[in-house]
């Protein structure tokens, strides 16, 4: 099966430092893959290369077998590569509903028409409320985004990303900055997206229980390189991973199916 997303010898250097070195990986369609590794391993830099935020020093990014390496982030999004960031990226003075509706409107290529566009395009509201239901925010739809908790803002950002209807979701630490109480809600949202079965998801996350629960496969990065790629069970039993990153044996770690 042709992978929906793959990289070929992807590398980037900053001065004399190689942040990502010869990364080769493949993503099957509708697959959930997580990236783990210690701080400084190059995970977010790798994401930035895939999404177009950074240009590689060497190598290529292929999406649906098309070379995306020279395309801007906006062009990659239009082709179906959607990206979230470690920090929230919402319009604080707009309501939750308005934030998502604008993203839906952007995808539908409907120009802004002041107050009349809502009445003229009721399908925008229908689609918007479907997305808010999916991310468990429909009860907050008339609240300004600035009044949401950090965890709720992350859910809103995911809804805005989903509104673009991309084939691939690149989720960069969606639980970053959340309290322990907020994590289960974002986990529930990502599970619901996975269970729908029509998205390919690449996740960077540090919470191992979350990764083991969600992932079909895991890649491990270390010093900018691909250290291992396998199922959660294979990664947990990999001695190289244990020695280089996990700091000892995980034989007794409960791996969820």
Rounded mean pLDDT, 91-108: 89
Per-residue pLDDT, averaged over 210-216, amounts to 94
Mean pLDDT of 24-42: 94
* Single pTM value for the model: 0.86
Residues 222-231: tens digit of each pLDDT: 999 999 999 9
pLDDT band at 251 (very low <50, low <70, confident <90, very high): very low
Enter the CATH code of domain 5-246. Answer: 3.40.50.300
Say if residue 114's pLDDT is above 50. no
**What pLDDT is recorded for position 257?**
29
pLDDT of residue 144: 96
Q: How confident is the model at residue 117 (pLDDT cuts 50, 70, 90)?
A: low
If you average pLDDT over every residue of the chain, what do you get? 87
pLDDT band, residue 7 (cuts 50/70/90): very high
Over residues 39-45, the mean pLDDT reads 92
pLDDT reading at 112 higher than 90: no
Higher pLDDT, 114 or 202: 202
253: pLDDT confidence band, cut at 50, 70 and 90? very low
Strand partners, 213: none
Q: How confident is the model at residue 203 (pLDDT cuts 50, 70, 90)?
A: very high
pLDDT score of 256 more than 60: no
Q: What is the pLDDT of residue 249?
A: 43
């Amino acid at each position: 099966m042709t992978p929906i997303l793959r990289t070929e010898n992807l590398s980037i250097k900053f001065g004399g430092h190689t942040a990502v070195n010869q990364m080769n990986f493949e993503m099957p369609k509708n697959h959930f893959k997580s990236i783990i590794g210690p701080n400084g391993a190059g995970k977010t830099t790798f994401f930035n290369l895939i999404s177009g935020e950074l240009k590689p020093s060497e190598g290529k990014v292929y999406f649906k077998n098309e070379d995306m390496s020279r395309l801007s982030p906006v062009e990659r999004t239009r082709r179906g590569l959607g990206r979230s960031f470690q920090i929230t990226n919402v319009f604080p003075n707009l309501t939750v509903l308005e934030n998502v509706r604008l993203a839906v409107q952007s995808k539908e290529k409907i120009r802004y028409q002041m107050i009349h566009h809502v009445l003229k395009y009721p399908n925008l509201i229908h689609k918007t409320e479907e997305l808010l239901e999916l991310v468990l925010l429909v009860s907050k739809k008339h609240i300004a985004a600035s009044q949401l908790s950090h965890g709720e803002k992350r859910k809103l950002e995911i809804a805005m990303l989903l509104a673009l209807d991309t084939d691939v979701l690149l989720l960069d630490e969606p639980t970053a900055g959340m309290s322990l109480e907020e994590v289960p809600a974002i986990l529930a949202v990502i599970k619901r997206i996975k269970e729908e079965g029509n998205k390919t998801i690449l996740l960077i996350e540090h919470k191992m229980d979350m990764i083991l629960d969600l992932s079909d496969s895991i890649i491990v990065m270390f010093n900018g390189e691909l250290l291992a790629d396998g199922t959660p069970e294979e990664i947990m039993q990999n001695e190289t991973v244990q020695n280089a990153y996990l700091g000892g044996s995980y034989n007794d770690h409960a791996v969820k199916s």
